[in-house]
Amino acid sequence: MSLPRRHPSEDPALEGMVRSMDEFARQNDAEHLSETSKAKHRADLLALASSMSSSSITPPSSSPAPSKAFWSKRAFVFASAVAVVVLVVNLTLSALPGRRTQTVAQLLVPSAQSAEAFTLEPVQALPGGIDARAGWTLTTTVPASREAIEKAIRLEPPVPVRVEKAEKDSWRVIPEEGLAPNTVYKITLATALVESDQEIPYEYSWVNQTVGTFRAEAFTPGPGVSGVPVSSGIEITFSHDGFVEPTGFFSISPQVDGRFETRGRALVFLPNKPLAPGKVFTVTLKKGFGIANNPEMQLKEDLVYGFQTNTREAMDEGRLLEMTDLYLPDRKSVV
């Protein structure tokens, strides 16, 4: 003889347990349970346990031996009772004073110290961004371990990092792979603020941009241009400022004496006297010119280009046209 299975809705205690387990599963992952929720779950589970203990299951008198359904029912009741006990113990322990739910970050910050708990600075800041190889220095005013920081810190776009002890209360955060040039990276640190014995997830974040490749972006006169005025200077605008003194890297052929000026990202060569007319000049900036002590921010090969100055005939023709524009009366004014 098989015993009919009871649907949870037919047993108020069982229905309460199902409801409590479902709510517990949802809230335990989402947030810390309030004391009211914990008390409610414990009451529902204890009611079920009481209902199970008071209900006796005996085999039918007409059966010579307990049926499989009987033992299945007994096993179900025993397993349910164990589950109830485990959940009640879990809820009770979580309600004990001073007991905290484990946080993913493992970096706990008293809320009063949240403003100065963590600071992140690039190891080497360069004109136009940070050094893509040097990484960052993380300074803390709260207890922190290498393992906790490595677990909590993230880069976006994703790049794996390792953490090394630097000085007291500071850590080096070093990219395991090279960072992309001229790219904005967001660095986040997952922590938990501790307030009134509660832990509230909190994320610190910083944004840095890596430097781009050092390169020439504009030329005056431009490469291959002809008819350049002999009074012209030579100007090259680079992607970054802060480059080294160009003497020893810059040359012009035929040779021209002059001086250098730096105007932001522009390097300017000013000849001491007008350039020779009708000549092709070749400008060279040698490999290695750029920002000192940073090979990634220097020219990888010689930069070479040329231009041609205006010819004497063209200059004379241009001078004649200028004189005509200046002294020839307008036909409308002639009577």
- pLDDT truncated to tens, each residue of the chain (335 aa)? 444 444 444 555 556 655 655 555 554 444 444 555 556 656 665 666 566 555 544 555 555 555 555 545 555 455 455 454 444 445 444 444 434 444 444 799 999 999 999 999 999 887 678 887 889 999 999 999 999 999 999 999 999 999 999 988 999 999 998 888 889 999 999 999 998 889 999 999 999 999 888 889 999 999 999 999 999 999 999 988 889 999 999 999 999 999 999 999 999 999 999 999 999 999 999 999 998 887 878 999 999 999 999 987 665 555 544 444 444 444 343 33
Which sign, positive or negative, has the C-alpha torsion 186, 187, 191, 193?
negative
Is residue 265 within 8 A of residue 290, CB to CB? The reply is no
Q: How far is Cα 322 from Cα 237, in angstroms, rounded to an integer? A: 32
What is the pLDDT at residue 131? 82
Q: What is the DSSP letter of 115?
A: G
Nearest CA among 226, 135, 204, 210 for reference residue 172? 135
For residue 132, the model assigns a pLDDT of: 79
CATH 3.20.20.370 fits 216-318, yes or no: no
E strand segments, 181-300 = 184-195, 198-209, 216-220, 234-238, 250-253, 258-263, 266-271, 280-285
CATH architecture assignment, domain 108-209: Sandwich (2.60)
Please tell me the predicted confidence (pLDDT) of residue 16.
Answer: 60
Q: Which residues pair with 187 in a beta bridge?
A: 155, 206
Give phi and psi for 72, each to the nearest 5: -65, -40
CA–CA separation, 3 vs 248, rounded Å? Answer: 99
Q: CB neighbours of 12 closer than 8 A, spacing ≥ 6?
A: none
